[in-house]
Structure 1
Amino acid sequence: MDKLQYSIDETLQGVRIDKALSTLNQEGSRTQIQQWIKEQHVLVNGSVVKTNYKCSAGDIVEITIPELEELDVVAEPMDLDIYYEDADVLVVNKPRGMVVHPAPGHHSGTLVNGLMAHCTDLSGINGVMRPGIVHRIDKDTSGLLMVAKNDVAHESLVQQLVDKTVTRKYQAVVHGVIPHDYGTIDAPIGRDKKDRQSMTVTEENSKHAVTHFRVIERFKAHTLVECQLETGRTHQIRVHMKYIGFPLAGDPKYGPKKTLKFNGQVLHAGLLGFVHPRTQEYLEFEAPLPQDFVELLEYLRKSN
């Protein structure tokens, strides 16, 4: 492992440690440096700090750069539904039932396994298990994802997510008939204390979360809605719709036990728009509803 040492001078007084190090260390991107800080590879005056630590003049900063891990994710040829691809970015339509990246219990058959067989040039910012992955959607959510093919593109796309300039629209079927045509849910989301595998609306250890929705069609006991994400928290749409009393149909985690027959939550990431990292052109893509989603809507219309 390589070790680097820096002394903070007056020009960086009060600057966040991740920003200061991205100025001092031109080889590491700010996102990469933030990852090193989280993994405790960065010490300030011999102590571990968080990414929001404000530097003081005279601070001695040590970075232990970890050795690159051998990528042990197996490339698996797949028939990926690719909507766009160039040297910088790729947009793919993920089917319901596919996990985005390898994790305990899901070492193969993930989108990352397929991407690695499709192309070798994926960004490495998110580590060996998530090459190219800028954002995720749940296993049983279908729809569009943007993938970065180099670190410069990755940083640009992540910054657009932070700046809330990425357009992300989903279609979902929820339980209950929503009486109003439009709504905005502004409620912080964090880990559920009673179930660490679930998220909930809470003030403790939570993150700001905003979802906008509009009603597309009403049925006898359900509603088809379009949800637009302003933020991108884990399970955000599922948690927010449950919070206002209209949980997603088919959702095994946040929905009622008595629900529509469907393989997971009825949720599709149908529209994705972003500014291209190199050309600065706004690109927008739309994926039609999967066949099982269409068939469910036909069933609900007949049941009215």
Structure 2
Amino acid sequence: MSRKQNEGGKPRKAAQAKQFTVNEPSELLAFLLIHLASMGRNSVKSVLARGQVSVDKRVQTKYNFPLEVGQTVSINTEKAVEAPPLMGLTILHEDDAIIVVQKDAGLLSIASSKDEQEVTAYRQLMAHVRTFDPKNRIFVVHRLDRDTSGVMMFAKTEKVQQSLQNNWQEAVKERSYVALVEGKVRKPEGTIQSWLKESSTLKMYSSSHPNDGQHAVTHYKLIQASDSFSLLEVHLETGRKNQIRVHMEDIGHPITGDKKYGARLKPIGRLGLHARVLAFEHPHTGKLLRFDTGIPKLFLNPFKNAAPAPQAGQAPKKQR
């Protein structure tokens, strides 16, 4: 059915639009607040968020989108169809090239052949971008495991996807995780290196032979520790499948809740791994973008009622 027809098949009147010419540089929200003075600030924000504002015939939703002299801003007065609500997913940033999101633990990044009917981050974001234009698409740049939460990025064009994937090591300036692991990690920081391979049961492992598999390098720093658990800041030098999970098992401190890689305890009811920071150069502008989603409060719960583990060379305090 044509978008200009209603359900009864009769032509629908074209949506009325107010048009304004930009006479001096401004940010989009500030411009709209001046020209839609009869509307409240929240109402103007809603109009913008629903995709009812176009600049030179291209929909814009960013409050701080820069306007240049001579551009035409159009406001569609017919309420647009709102994007479907997102489940287990929060959009942190969106522009013409990329979408950056925070994913909850339990949500698949993208479906495999056996999960074709399952709700995924990919499916939800595809529906989101197609609300504004049925031709829009998104493309996977990298993934997070189902039970890992945190920040990840999708591309809006295949060209941007290829650019980011082909130049991943150069484009990504920072990629760090927080990991809640079993036991007290004694070294305040360290580096783990190995060659990763995948078994016939699809489990990754570190090969005992050099140059046998994909080289993987993981750096960690200790944030907090008790006798039972440690909280680590983890930086990836390489991004291999299940890399952090394998390397934590290798040093005898598996990630909590990660039964597949040796964990015995599940103190927070989920995998203790969160993709905290992603910083990268924007594929179009070259500007550095950095997203820090913090440490989930859940990861601090195991330390609330536990005495801090004594530092190296320090005797434990005697109980009175």
TM-score, with normalisation over the residues of structure 1? 0.66
Partner of residue 279 from structure 1, selected from 278, 281, 285 = 285
In 1, the alpha carbon distance for the partners of 2:197 and 2:237 equals 16
Residues 152 and 252 of structure 1: CA distance in aligned 2, closer, same or farther (over 3 Å):
same
Report whether the alignment pairs 1:198 with 2:203.
yes
1:227 corresponds to: 234
Alignment-derived partner of residue 192 in structure 2? 185
8 Å Cα contact 1:175/1:246 also seen in 2: yes
Question: What is the DSSP-based 3-state SS (H/G/I as helix, E as strand, rest coil) of the residue aligned with 1:238?
Answer: helix
Q: In structure 2, how many angstroms separate the alpha carbons of the residues matched to 1:255 and 1:198?
A: 12
Correspondences of 1:57-72 after superposition (within 5 Å): none
Question: Aligned partners of 1:236, 1:145: CA distance in 2, in Å?
Answer: 16
Aligned equivalents of 1:89 and 1:157: distance in 2? Answer: 10
Cα displacement (A) at 1:101:
0.5
Counterpart residue type for residue 224 of structure 2: E
Residues 128-165 of structure 1 deviation map (CA, whole Å, 9 limit, x = unaligned)? xxx51110110000000011111221122113324474
- What's the CA shift for 1:301? 2.9
User: Percent identity, aligned pairs only?
Assistant: 35
CA distance in 1, matches of 2:98, 2:125: 12
Q: Please tell me whether residue 261 in structure 1 is matched to residue 264 in structure 2.
A: no
Which residue identity lines up with residue 100 of structure 2 in the other structure? Answer: V
Deviation digits for residues 212-266 of structure 1, max 9, x if unmatched? 110001112211001011111110000011111111111121023x313333320
Amino acid at match of 1:206: G
In the superposition, the TM-score normalised over structure 2's length comes to 0.63
Deviation at 1:122, TM superposition (A): 6.0
Is residue 118 from structure 1 mapped to residue 128 from structure 2 by the alignment? yes
Aligned residue identity for 1:148: A
SS of match in other structure, 1:289: coil
Structure 1 counterpart of 2:128, one-letter code: H
Cα distance between partner residues in 2 of 1:213 and 1:122 = 39
Match of 2:86 among 66, 78, 90: 78
**Aligned equivalents of 1:103, 1:155: Cα separation in 2:** 21
After superposition, residues 67-216 of structure 1 pair within 5 angstroms as 77-79=85-87, 80-107=89-116, 108-120=118-130, 131-163=138-170, 165-192=172-199, 195-202=200-207, 203=209, 206-216=213-223
Give the letter aligned to residue 177 of structure 1. K
In angstroms, what is the RMSD of aligned CA positions? 2.1
Q: Does 1:246 align with 2:234?
A: no
Higher CA-based Rg? 2
Per the alignment, residue 302 of structure 1 pairs with 305
In structure 1, the gaps of 5 or more residues are 1-74, 124-130
Deviation sequence 1:88-125 (CA, Å, 0-9, x none): 011000000000111133222111110111113666xx
Which consecutive residues of structure 2, in runs of 5 or more, have no partner in the other structure? 1-82, 308-320
Q: 1:115 and 1:165 mapped to 2: Cα distance?
A: 22
Q: How far does the alpha carbon of each residue in 1:22-81 deviate from its partner, in whole angstroms, 9 at most, with x for none?
A: xxxxxxxxxxxxxxxxxxxxxxxxxxxxxxxxxxxxxxxxxxxxxxxxxxxxx9752430
